[in-house]
Structure 1
Amino acid sequence: MKCIVGLGNPGRKFKKTRHNIGFMVIDELVDRHNWKLKKDKFNGKSTVEFLGNEKVILLQPQTYMNLSGGSIRPLIDFYNIAVDDVLVIYDDLDLPTGKIRLRQKGSHGGHNGIRSTIEHLGTKEFKRLRIGIGRPSGQMQVVDYVLGSFPKEKHEAVDSGIQKAADACEAWLEKSFSEVMNEFNN
């Protein structure tokens, strides 16, 4: 069984913000396969499904970004999922809007959702799928930027990134993560 986690903030106020691009990828997977996310006892919305021969859990923590690990850890413990079978999707300021990058492990890089995940999992060695949101220009504060919506001229790049990220998630259910990295990191 594998677990795919999209990070974001719950509520209508945050729905289309840059920080919620992880949620957007989970929503894309749910829409593609006609699945339904339900509130669960792990402070998240999740679904357990089969895609091909692989059982997968999709999770959107509802703990707010900075406390994401508090939803992920209880869920993977309950389902007895190895950390090696967890993929976390999140926004990245250092990548151009819509660009995706997969990694086997790494630091939190200043991302509070990943910091919380590392703290709760007790390791930096879990799979990540980062989606670029670009950097703010001028004097805009990072917190205002990530909690802001994408401008209209970026919608095509955002949609493309979400599609590629969802494709990479589906590929990971059939191939090794190294193969998926080679395919999608180019």
Structure 2
Amino acid sequence: MFWFFKRSSKYDSTEDNMKKFLIVGLGNIGDKYHNTRHNIGFKILDFFAEAEGLTFETQKLGDIANHKIKGRSLILLKPSTYMNLSGKAVLYWLTKEKIPLENLLIITDDLNLPFGTLRLKIKGSDGGHNGLKDIQDKLNTIKYNRFRFGISDAFSKGRQIDYVLGEWSEEEVEKLPERLTKSSELIKSFVLSGVNTTMNAFNGK
């Protein structure tokens, strides 16, 4: 068990560390994955970064952008480990930056939610998602904040992989900007107002 999981740790209780947040968008690196549904985590962070005037830099195990909002420090992470090994990057940056577990937010796609539906949870199973499974394994807990973005389950039997790794439809592309704006608002709310307030304000919206 790592130090940042111990809520009573001296690191957790310091004011500076409590104001640091790790916001992780899940996805796969490479141009062929850029506009796929599975890469919505990357897409949300790219949208957020562009809106805030941030630039990603390639560092260990991922691309990193740093931001400050009203005294809070945000580290945005797009892992370069590919989806199935996302936990390696998450664990490294949590440890390196001494960020408490409750200040971690994982952004991922969800087949069980209608397109564009936003849902924030403080714990849960991996739901068959390989990225979440690896994070759970590496952190040794299911109690971490995850922001699920609905991509729907509009695929025929046996075509799940093709659908998840497929590109957005024209109708989805038209609706994405508004959903990405809402997703950015959720991230800011999580950082400034906390997870419970954010769940009440955004879940199902």
CA drift of 1:155 comes to 1.5
What is aligned with 1:181?
A: 199
Give, in whole Å, the separation in 1 of the partners of 2:113 and 2:174.
16
Query: Is the CA contact (8 Å cut-off) linking 2:38 and 2:109 kept in structure 1?
Result: yes
C-alpha root-mean-square deviation of aligned residues, in Å?
1.1
CA drift of 1:48 comes to 2.1
2:50 is equivalent to residue 26 of structure 1: no
TM-score by length of structure 1 reads 0.96
Match of 1:89 among 101, 107, 126: 107
CA drift of 1:158 comes to 2.8
Name the larger-Rg structure.
Answer: 2
What is aligned with 1:110?
A: 128
Matched residue count: 185
2:82 is equivalent to residue 64 of structure 1: yes
Give, in whole Å, the separation in 2 of the partners of 1:115 and 1:182.
26
What is aligned with 2:68?
A: 50
Give, in whole Å, the separation in 2 of the partners of 1:40 and 1:112.
23
Give, in whole Å, the separation in 2 of the partners of 1:128 and 1:39.
24
CA drift of 1:162 comes to 1.9
Query: Is the CA contact (8 Å cut-off) linking 2:118 and 2:183 kept in structure 1?
Result: yes
2:74 is equivalent to residue 37 of structure 1: no
CA drift of 1:139 comes to 3.3
Give, in whole Å, the separation in 2 of the partners of 1:118 and 1:138.
29
Query: Is the CA contact (8 Å cut-off) linking 1:97 and 1:157 kept in structure 2?
Result: no
- Higher mean Cα deviation, 146-155 or 136-145? 136-145
Query: Is the CA contact (8 Å cut-off) linking 1:25 and 1:166 kept in structure 2?
Result: yes
Give, in whole Å, the separation in 1 of the partners of 2:94 and 2:109.
22
Give, in whole Å, the separation in 2 of the partners of 1:142 and 1:160.
26
Task: State percent identity of aligned pairs.
Answer: 36
What is aligned with 1:142?
A: 160
Give, in whole Å, the separation in 2 of the partners of 1:136 and 1:63.
28
Query: Is the CA contact (8 Å cut-off) linking 2:54 and 2:66 kept in structure 1?
Result: no
What is aligned with 1:13?
A: 32
Give, in whole Å, the separation in 2 of the partners of 1:176 and 1:73.
22
Query: What residue identity is the alignment partner of 1:12?
Result: D
Query: What residue identity is the alignment partner of 1:30?
Result: A
Would you identify which runs of 4 or more consecutive aligned residues in structure 1 move more than 4 Å?
none
CA drift of 1:140 comes to 4.7
Q: Deviations over 1:63-100 (max 9, x none)?
A: 11111001110111000011111000000001111111
Give, in whole Å, the separation in 1 of the partners of 2:111 and 2:79.
21
TM-score by length of structure 2 reads 0.87
Give the secondary-structure state (helix, strand or coil) at the position aligned to 1:145: helix
In structure 2, the gaps of 5 or more residues are 1-19
Match of 1:133 among 133, 151, 154: 151
Query: What residue identity is the alignment partner of 1:103?
Result: K
